[in-house]
Amino acid sequence: MAGSQTGQARQGLVPARRPADIDYRLARQSTLNAWRAGNLGTEFVCDAQPMLRRNAAECGTPTLETCPVCDDHEVAHVTYVFGPRLPAHGRCISTPGELERLNQRRADLSAYVVEVCAECGWNHLVRITSLGRGLP
């Protein structure tokens, strides 16, 4: 795999690069620690909606990481963009080109990257990133 593709596999379609990014690694680890300690049931950590699981399988970005819950399948990053003139439920992004076109808009957009195991339903928000060029 080429260097840029390897970085893309680890980062998803949206690279963590802006100071306004919100990273949820600590919340993810806290959730997994609670689950491993038996304080949180599997039904609460593997509760991905069918559409999210389908998006992970069909247009998610592979991470090359094994699911922390089922420890059997690879998780994918699914990216949704929210903002003006986009559906209320967000737009699921499937290609870097599509993301770049949205990033060129003169609007404030937010990209949500979600880690998902399409098999067991594990899902957790990875980060929120600002997109777009904003209004002048």
The label of the residue with tokens 């990875």 reads 126
Residue ranges in the chain assigned as alpha helix (H): 3-11, 25-36, 42-45, 50-59, 96-103
- In the chain, where are the structural domains located? 23-131
- pLDDT of 124 > 90? The answer is yes
pLDDT tier for residue 19 given thresholds of 50, 70 and 90: low
Which pLDDT does position 21 carry in this prediction? Answer: 83
**Residue of 120 and 17 predicted with greater confidence:** 120
* pTM reported for the whole predicted model: 0.82
